[in-house]
Amino acid sequence: MQVHDKDSGAMRSSFLLAAPTAVAADARGHAWIAHGDRVSEFAADGKAGRTIAGLDKPGALAFGGSDGALHVAETGTGRVLVYDAKTLKQRRSLFGAAKPGPMSDTAFLWPLAGGTSIAVDAQGRITVADVGNHRVLTFSPEGELLRQRYSEMQMAPMVDPAVDPDLVLSHNMEYRVDYRPGKDHGRWRPVANWYGANSTLRRKIDGRHYLFAVTNGKRIEVREIGDQGMRLCAALLAEEGLKTWADRDGDGAITDDECTRSDGAGDYAALSPGVWIDQRGDLWIGNWAGATVRVPMLGFDLGKNPLYDWSKRVTVIARDETPWAMDVRNLRIDPASGDIYRLGYSPRHVLPNQWFWMGGSVVERLAADGKRVSMFPIHGGDAAVVVATDSDGQFFYTGHSGGDQHWIRMYTSDGLLVTTCRMGGPSGPSGGWMDHGLSLSAFTHPATGVHYAYAEEVYWGKAIRYRIDDLATLERPPGGTFAWKAAP
């Protein structure tokens, strides 16, 4: 610990203390230092004074209020403890620690590795940096919420109107967006943090809600979620052979005795990723040895755990032996029509700027039975990073990155380019890329009929929302259809 003159900066004294985590100075110029399970008082010359012990990982200190009360933030519990500065008698205990699930205004997620932070003004108002929930909150001295501010959305935004069209799942965070016409249109706020799930998609199946996490190309985890939190309930594993797991004993731990083994091996591109989960909970892998396979969800056991079995996988689309020779990196299942959209590279359409680990130069549309309907070569010089489908079955989208920007293109399901969307002034000149296969989501809002697309903006760690209006003006050639001739 070093003490410096505030005017000259010269060091006046120093003393040693094991593993300090926070420091604050009181009105007398004494330093209060958090270390271990306690907060200790030190004079400027290092002489020890009073101590408050028995704390749970004190991580931040602040003095404030009319009489300079000491406020101690416990990282371990999420509490802010208020002490009389003269007697060290505890006056009140405020707040608590957050759990995975719906967010509370008075429960905080402070990382154990650092990030606990509070400030208290002369009126005793407490401002808390809730680092894990990406927000800053200000409370009255008694703990009543006065205001809060949020940071930007995270990356990989996903919307499923079958769950709730007003919810955006973005990694572990979930946000509610106001799409109603008026001055509040487009405003959003965080409503849940499913931390630890590393979520990819949320699905509503048989009246229950599940988070699917696509991880390193070898594992897909399923968690049931609700108002009381979440639990790991199923998994598909390809780390040492093929295994599926269901949480039969209810402890949330993956153990061999609860796993079902199958022959073979499988993989998918982790960054692309060549995997999708449809509305039924079926798993689709777009690049399984060049083919696309479906692993159906077989139902539920008595504990309401989803059941899968790798041996029940079905090859829906065989390896492409046509001249297109599709090398698939990304896929989507249209929720309205069941059509399959695959993005990949083809020797018949090579672009000058192609991503070596993701994306593609061609979008392929297939019927639900795997029969090829159309091929849509990407034009404009840059390969697409990702493909996405609209929830109404009428449109699909491609996401692109180049330079310091990203852009998306909207097409009718039969390949007519409708519009290209790019970022405007609010995002600045360097908007940032989409750089993986879960970086684009699109849907039609059922209440308004307006089309929206959410795109990752990786440079600044946020999501860009695009709104596409006036599609009623879209015209097609005489006869009412616009169709590409099916490729061989």
DSSP structure string for 412-427: ETTS-EEEEEE--GGG
d(CA 164, CA 166): 5
Whether residue 145 is found in the same domain as residue 183: no
Same domain, 163 and 137: no
Has residue 460 been placed in a domain? yes
Per mean pLDDT, which range of 54-68, 195-209, 257-271, 447-461 is the poorest? Answer: 257-271
Band (pLDDT 50/70/90 cuts) for residue 473 is low
The total of structural domains in the chain comes to 2
**Residue at a domain's end among 103, 127, 150:** 150
Q: How confident is the model at residue 484 (pLDDT cuts 50, 70, 90)?
A: very low
pLDDT digits (tens, 9 = 90+) for 306-338: 999 999 999 999 999 999 999 999 999 999 999
Q: Write out pLDDT tens, residues 76-121.
A: 999 999 999 999 999 999 999 999 999 999 999 988 667 899 999 9
pLDDT digits (tens, 9 = 90+) for 36-53: 999 999 998 888 999 999
| Same domain (yes/no): 325, 407 | yes
In which band, very low, low, confident or very high, does the pLDDT at 430 lie, cut at 50, 70 and 90? low
Examine the domain organization and report whether 321 and 430 are in the same domain. yes
- Residue 233 forms part of a structural domain: no
Same domain, 146 and 180: no
Task: Indicate whether 224 belongs to any domain.
Answer: no
- Say yes or no: 364 and 398 in one domain: yes
Q: Tell how strand 90-97 and strand 107-108 pair up.
A: parallel
Asked if 44 and 89 sit in the same domain, the reply is: yes
Task: Choose the final residue of a domain: 131, 150, 169.
Answer: 150
321 lies in some domain? yes
Domain boundary among 150, 170, 188: 150
Which range has the worst mean pLDDT, 191-195, 256-260, 432-436?
432-436
Instruction: Output the pLDDT for position 358.
Output: 86
CATH number of the domain residue 194 falls in: 2.120.10
Predicted confidence (pLDDT) per residue in 22-35, tens digit: 999 999 989 999 99
Domain that holds residue 303: 157-212+266-473
* Domain-embedded: residue 223: no
In a domain, 232, yes or no: no
Structural domain contains residue 487: no
- Res 269: pLDDT: 67
Is the pTM higher than 0.75? yes
- Same domain for 364 and 467? yes
The pairs formed by 79-88 with CB atoms below 8 angstroms and a separation of 24 or more are 80/118, 80/126, 80/128, 81/55, 82/141, 83/52, 85/26, 85/27, 88/50, 88/52
Both 398 and 306 in one domain: the answer is: yes
Q: What is d(CA 46, CA 272) in angstroms, rounded to the nearest whole number?
A: 56
